[in-house]
Amino acid sequence: MFENLQDKLDRAFKVLKGQGSISEINVAETIKEIRKALLDADVNYKTAKAFTDEVKEKALGQNVLTSVSPGQLLTKIMNDELALLMGGTVTELELTGNPTVILIAGLNGAGKTTFSGKLANFLKTQKGKKPLLVAGDVYRPAAIDQLQVLGEQIGVPVYANLESKDPIAIAEEGVAEAKRNGNSVVIIDTAGRLAIDEALMTEISAVRDATKPHEILFVVDAMTGQDAVNTAKIFNERLDYTGVVLTKLDGDTRGGAALSIKSVVNKPIKFIGTGEKMEALDVFHPDRMASRILGMGDVISLVERAQQQFDEEKAAQLQKKIRKNKFDFNDFISQIQQIKKMGNMKDLMGMIPGAGKAMKDIEIEDDAFKPIEAIIHSMTPYERENPDVINQSRRQRIAKGAGTDLQEVNKLMKQFNDMRKVMKQFSNPAAAAKLMKNMP
Ligand code: GDP
């Protein structure tokens, strides 16, 4: 699936191949291609625009990594953004009711009855639930038969009332039956229509009001593209459903619906149907779906590793400098900046077990590093790289520049030199071991 979109993205990324960094110019062309690809895949215009704007902004703000190409990096950014667009994380079913009532809604042929069976099977086999299926489609006797056949196949009881033409009464009877028999979940399959009409909406709203479902799942055929989004919108306005089920994602389906629905109705996609068999049901994972759309899982993990490595590369360089006793004030200040990036000092201390409570009443200033930074900033670049040249007269000048007194500069110089000594020792494994042994 999503073959179409994937081909287009491949082409879009080719534009970037061989470029050294992500800049406004080389990103613009790709972004245009991506937007076109999304529109072709039936993604709604507003969604596509918001999405590509976001990707562009993220791309331009990226660190240039030596080990990946801009195209690969952009793929990773797109993957993250796509997953976010489709809801970010998995949204679980609310199954705390006693019994939990799940109402299934949607147009005719969307796959409601098939999904009802699949869901019952899923809850029984994966969640250890005891479901009851309720045949609420009173207009199509074949639908009742279909549900009964499915129920038998998966070993789940089906409540039906062939005498009645009242879907509200049948739904209520179904819930009562579940209570009597100790079923923990009731799945109510409802009637659809070929198109949205007022009578259908009124009826299903009445079923909802009578049964107070914990979940209302809207089932929609992914093959209907932009129509799926429109139907989803109208059903949501009337029913305020709790989740979407996208069916028929096994065929050569365009991906537009999955991409747009979440952002248009702001309801999570909870399941996807990938075939006619009862097992062909997947919990919807936005991140997996994103990688599947892009079809570039390997690239994504490559970039993730490169991003981790980015910091590792820096750390390795620093290690080398320490070993050669070349640790200078530039490294010192970049360490301070690293620490500051991690959060405010008090929060950091709070993460240390036991420390949080002890620190409660102690004021730690967030800008505790400010005076130190001021002193370092008053040094010339040459002094920062060669701390050993900082003699008394230089110290006096630095103190003046930083608006502090000589004593403070001397204190910092002493701390810095002590630190260098300790660092040097720790960078030599044998010396470090000896040092540790001698510690109390
Ligand atoms: P309902 O009218 O909404 O109850 O729809 P049905 O459950 O009767 O499904 C309509 C048709 O779509 C049937 O032929 C199903 O077998 C088929 N169908 C349902 N879900 C899927 C799916 O995920 N993949 C495929 N390929 N077919 C499906």
* 110 CA → ligand 1 middle, Å: 6
Q: Ligand 1 within 6 A of 118 CB?
A: no
Q: What is the CATH number of the domain that holds 78?
A: 1.20.120.140
* Residues 196 and 231 placed together within one structural domain of the fold: yes
Of all residues in the chain, the percent with pLDDT exceeding 90 is 37
- Same structural domain, 214 and 83: no
What pLDDT score was predicted for residue 352?
Answer: 44
For residue 149, the CA-to-ligand 1 centroid distance in Å is 14
- In a shared domain, residues 131 and 200: yes
Go through the chain and tell me how many residues it has: 440
Protein residue with its CA nearest to atom 2 in ligand 1: 109
| Per-residue DSSP letter, 64 | P
Residue 335 lies in a domain: yes
Residue 421 annotated as binding?
no
Interval between CA 274 and ligand 1 midpoint (Å): 10
Residue 393 CB burial class (10 angstroms; 0-12, 13-18, ≥19): exposed
Q: Are residues 73 and 112 in the same domain?
A: no
242 is in an annotated binding site: no
Q: Which of 241, 340, 254 is nearest to 7 (CA)?
A: 254
**Residue 136 among known ligand-binding residues:** no
What is the CA(86)–ligand 1 centre distance, in A?
23
Instruction: Compute the distance from residue 224 Cα to the ligand 1 centre, in Å.
Output: 13
SS3 labels along 271-297: EEECCCCCCCEEECCHHHHHHHHHCCH
121 and 50 co-located in one domain:
no
The verdict on whether residue 120 carries a ligand-binding annotation is no
Model confidence band, residue 132 (pLDDT cutoffs 50, 70, 90): very high
What single string gives the DSSP state of each residue in 186-214?
Answer: EEEEE---SS--HHHHHHHHHHHHHH--S
In 68-143, which ranges are E strands? 100-106, 131-136
- The mean of the pLDDT values for the chain is 79
Residue of 1, 107, 108, 114 best suited for mutating to test ligand 1, as the one with most atoms within 8 Å of CB: 114
Among 226, 255, 284, the domain-final residue is 284
- One-character DSSP codes across 307-358: HHHHHHHHHHHHHHHHHTT---HHHHHHHHHHHHHT--HHHHHHTSTTHHHH
Residue 244 — φ and ψ, nearest 5°?
-115, 140
Cβ of 106 closer than 6 Å to ligand 1, yes or no, is: yes
Which ipTM was obtained for this model? 0.99
**Of 260, 284, 308, which residue sits at a domain end?**
284
The pick from 247, 274, 278 for probing ligand 1's pocket by mutation, whose C-beta has the most ligand atoms within 8 angstroms, reads 247
111 lines ligand 1 (CB under 6 A): yes
CATH of the domain at 381: 1.10.260.30
User: Would you say residue 51 lies in a domain?
Assistant: yes
Could you tell me if 114 and 240 lie in one domain?
A: yes
The CB of 225 under 6 Å from ligand 1? The reply is no
Structural domain including 162 reads: 100-284
Verify that 253 and 109 share a domain, yes or no. yes
Spacing, Cα 260 to ligand 1 middle (Å): 22
Output the pTM of the full model. 0.65
The string of pLDDT tens digits covering residues 321-352 is 777 778 888 888 877 776 665 545 555 444 44
Phi, psi for residue 342 in degrees, rounded to 5: -75, -15
> Of 256, 284, 312, which marks where a domain is finished?
284
Question: pLDDT of 61-83, one tens digit each?
Answer: 666 555 566 666 777 788 788 88
Same domain, 151 and 214: yes
180 among the known binding-site residues? no
Least confident span in 250-254, 304-308, 373-377, 405-409: 304-308
**Was 113 annotated as part of a binding site?**
yes
107 is in an annotated binding site: yes
Atom of ligand 1 minimally distant from the CA of 281: 23
Residue-wise pLDDT for 164-217, tens only, equals: 889 999 999 999 999 999 999 999 999 887 777 888 889 999 999 999 999 999
Q: Does the beta carbon of 248 lie inside 6 Å of ligand 1?
A: yes
Say how many domains are in the chain.
3
Indicate whether residue 275 lines ligand 1 (CB < 6 A): yes
* Helix, strand, or coil (residue 245): strand
Q: With respect to residue 319, please indicate whether it lies within any of the assigned structural domains.
A: no
Verify that 394 and 423 share a domain, yes or no.
yes
257 shares its domain with 344: no
Residue 253 lies in a domain: yes
Is 343 among the domain residues?
Answer: yes
**Residue 109 annotated as binding site:** yes
Same domain, 192 and 253: yes
Q: Is residue 313 part of a domain?
A: no
Whether residue 311 is contained in a domain is answered as no
Nearest CA among 33, 15, 70, 37 for reference residue 299? 70
Which domain CATH number covers 225? 3.40.50.300
Instruction: Please give the structure tokens belonging to residue 48.
Output: 């596509």
In a domain, 289, yes or no: no
- Regarding whether 170 and 83 lie in a shared domain, the answer is no
Phi, psi values for residue 272, rounded to 5°: -125, 140
